[in-house]
């Protein structure tokens, strides 16, 4: 168990000591966030839009 902790500490120390590693790590996190957001947006766009009856009695649907 201690060896895993030492590996994590060593990884974080190497990221903190080398700016190139820091930028690569931040770019990876940023790319991961973008991929998650894009997948979430695609999931939302594939769902039907629910309109309350009182508001959408004359609503004809999403114009595609």
- Going by the DSSP 8-state scheme, the letter that residue 47 receives in this structure is S
**Residue-level pLDDT at 54:** 60
Residue 63 in this model has a pLDDT that exceeds 90: no
User: Does 42 fall in a domain?
Assistant: yes
- Please tell me the total count of domains within the chain: 1
**Residue-level pLDDT at 60:** 64
The owner of tokens 């839009």 is: 49
pTM for the model stands at: 0.56
User: Does 17 fall in a domain?
Assistant: yes
pLDDT tens, residue by residue, 21-57: 889 989 999 999 999 999 998 888 777 666 666 655 6
Q: What is the dihedral of CA 19, 23, 29, 32, to 10 degrees?
A: -150
User: Does 63 fall in a domain?
Assistant: no
User: Does 58 fall in a domain?
Assistant: no
């Amino acid at each position: 168990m201690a060896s895993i902790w030492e590996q994590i500490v060593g990884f974080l120390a190497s990221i903190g000591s080398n700016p190139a590693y820091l930028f690569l790590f931040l770019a990876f996190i940023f790319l991961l966030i973008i991929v998650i957001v894009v997948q979430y947006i695609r999931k939302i766009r594939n769902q039907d839009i629910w309109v309350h009856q009182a508001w959408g009695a004359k609503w004809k649907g999403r114009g595609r």
